[in-house]
Amino acid sequence: MFLKVQLPWNVIIPPENLDAEGLKLQSSIIIRLLGDFAARKASKDLGYHLAVTTLESIGEGRVRQQTGDVIFPVVFSALTFNLYRGEIAEGVVHRVLKLGVFLRCGPIENIYLAHSKMPGYCYEGGESPVFRDNQSKIESNVVIRFIVIGTMWLEADREFQALASLEGDYLGPIA
């Protein structure tokens, strides 16, 4: 789910952000690194980029001949989030449809739990649709413990989608 990773990255600093003193340069590198990290949002291998935790090192800058920008190689530690097949997680229902529900878990917005993967639950339509069994109900804003049965990376949107199931012990709505 959460991973602490160490990443090498190239930070590009425009000439106007350079000065003889190192303080403005260091803050420019950190600000640019944080902006680039947040803009990238996610990657297929690491999942969603959550936070830069520590800046390990800043290498020697190289000047780009065409633009005058300076490229600094940096190494930093970061926190990422991803779901893996077979993992047990908790999510919040945000949409109930006749064929299943959509859950949110951390930064992942599209986790689909199909009706066929909810043994014992029956759909009840209306203004606020719900899936109900003998003891509990699944409706909007209910927290559900589920097992991940698959994930898919969407390169164009830079996000993940996942399929979930309630088939197993201790899975379902959390009271």
Q: Are residues 61 and 105 in the same domain?
A: no
Pair (107, 61) in one structural domain: no
Q: Are residues 37 and 107 in the same domain?
A: no
Provide the number of structural domains found in the chain.
2
| Secondary structure (3-state) at 27 | helix
pTM comes to: 0.83
pLDDT of residue 164: 98
Do β-strands 159-165 and 108-114 pair in parallel, antiparallel, or remain unpaired? parallel
The answer to whether residues 119 and 150 belong to one domain is yes
Query: What's the domain range around 160?
Result: 88-173
Task: Supply the CATH number for residue 112's domain.
Answer: 2.40.50.140
Are both 50 and 11 inside the same structural domain? yes
The mean pLDDT values, 10 residues at a time, for the chain of 175 residues are 93 78 76 91 93 93 88 95 96 96 95 96 93 93 97 94 96 90
- Give residue 28's pLDDT: 85
